[in-house]
């Protein structure tokens, strides 16, 4: 407990799934959490739940594809909290379609959220993170959610896989640039495997619909995907959140530009 005491943390896409698990864990570890999402109902519910359990959390509406919204958010953070210690770029969307069936506009829609949203978060976090009181412990930390599907290819995944590969490069470029310029901002990436979230449940249904893994049965599709993981199961959001916690905390103070797979051994085979 207390691994994020006195930290101000912004988590995007925190209304459900991995983002919600991260927000809850961060609050449990002492952070003041800004629960951001474009869905006000979902985000408010998570923030209220955290507060009801004794944590510190507020909801702040944010569409990560809107640059003006990022500017307003960071300006508000500086005015309200004096800066930002942790940014988790978690918001993302998926698209399960073959290359032939993926339109240019659909491809761009995924890029807007998964790539441009991360770029805007990194870019506009700089003033809020460099404005931190120099006496505050440790460095500021940006954690980007990529995916093992940004490393390995699977069918019907061209837009999502490409976007998550781009997040890995955004992470490395930002981390090295910030280090070279003397910014006290570390940037790392976490690469989950398929995780039990509402988005993944929809993906599994869509994979089944398309017969991506040789079956159109939802349960069989889930089993087929789980079988590809050496640990033979799908991850929980909490398992991803604990790795994000380490990357965000001062415990990883000498780590930047790193990639943390949370994949049940998937990338090793």
Q: Answer yes or no: is pLDDT of 107 > 90.
A: yes
Angle at 146 (CA atoms; ends 145, 148), nearest 5 degrees: 135
Q: At 76, phi and psi to the nearest 5?
A: -65, -40
pLDDT digits (tens, 9 = 90+) for 160-185: 999 999 999 999 999 999 999 999 99
Identify whether 260 is a catalytic site residue. Answer: no
Give 79's contacts (C-beta < 8 A, 6+ positions apart): none
Q: 71 vs 124, 169, 173, 208, CA distance in Å?
A: 6, 23, 22, 40
Q: Answer yes or no: is pLDDT of 115 > 80.
A: yes
- Indicate the CATH number of 8-194+236-263 among 3.40.50.720, 3.40.190.10, 2.170.120.12, 3.40.47.10: 3.40.50.720
Q: How confident is the prediction for the chain on average, in pLDDT?
A: 94
- Of 200 and 95, the structure prediction assigns the larger pLDDT to 95
**228: confidence class by pLDDT, cuts 50, 70, 90:** confident
Check residue 244 and give its pLDDT.
Answer: 98
Q: Answer yes or no: is pLDDT of 133 > 80.
A: no
**What pTM was computed for the model?**
0.94
Q: Answer yes or no: is pLDDT of 239 > 80.
A: yes
pLDDT digits (tens, 9 = 90+) for 48-85: 999 999 999 999 999 999 999 999 999 999 999 999 99
Q: Exposed, middle or buried, 182 (CB in 10 Å: 0-12/13-18/19+)?
A: exposed
Check residue 203 and give its pLDDT.
Answer: 81
Check residue 174 and give its pLDDT.
Answer: 98
- Catalytic member of 60, 81, 160, 183: 160
């Amino acid at each position: 407990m207390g691994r994020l005491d006195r930290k101000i943390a912004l988590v995007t896409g925190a209304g459900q799934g991995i983002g919600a698990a991260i927000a809850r864990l961060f609050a449990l570890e002492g952070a003041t959490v800004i629960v951001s999402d474009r869905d006000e109902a979902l985000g408010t519910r998570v923030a209220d739940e955290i507060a009801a359990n004794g944590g510190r959390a507020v909801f702040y509406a944010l569409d990560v594809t809107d640059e003006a919204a990022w500017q307003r958010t960071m300006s508000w953070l500086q005015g309200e909290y004096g800066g930002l210690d942790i940014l988790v770029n978690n918001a993302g969307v998926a698209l399960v379609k073959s290359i032939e069936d993926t339109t240019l506009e659909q491809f761009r829609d995924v890029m807007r959220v998964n790539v441009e949203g991360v770029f805007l978060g990194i870019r506009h976090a700089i003033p809020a993170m460099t404005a931190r009181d120099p006496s505050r412990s440790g460095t500021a930390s940006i954690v980007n959610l990529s995916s093992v599907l940004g490393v390995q290819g699977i069918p019907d995944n061209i837009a999502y896989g490409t976007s998550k590969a781009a997040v890995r490069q955004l992470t490395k470029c930002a981390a090295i640039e910030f280090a070279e310029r003397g910014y006290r901002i570390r940037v790392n990436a976490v690469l989950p495997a398929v995780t039990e979230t509402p988005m993944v449940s929809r993906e599994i249904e869509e994979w089944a619909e398309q017969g991506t893994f040789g079956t159109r049965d939802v349960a069989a599709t889930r089993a087929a995907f789980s079988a590809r993981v050496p640990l033979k199961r799908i991850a929980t959001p909490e398992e991803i959140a604990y790795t994000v916690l380490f990357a965000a905390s001062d415990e990883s103070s000498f780590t930047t530009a790193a990639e943390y797979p949370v994949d049940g051994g998937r990338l090793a085979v």
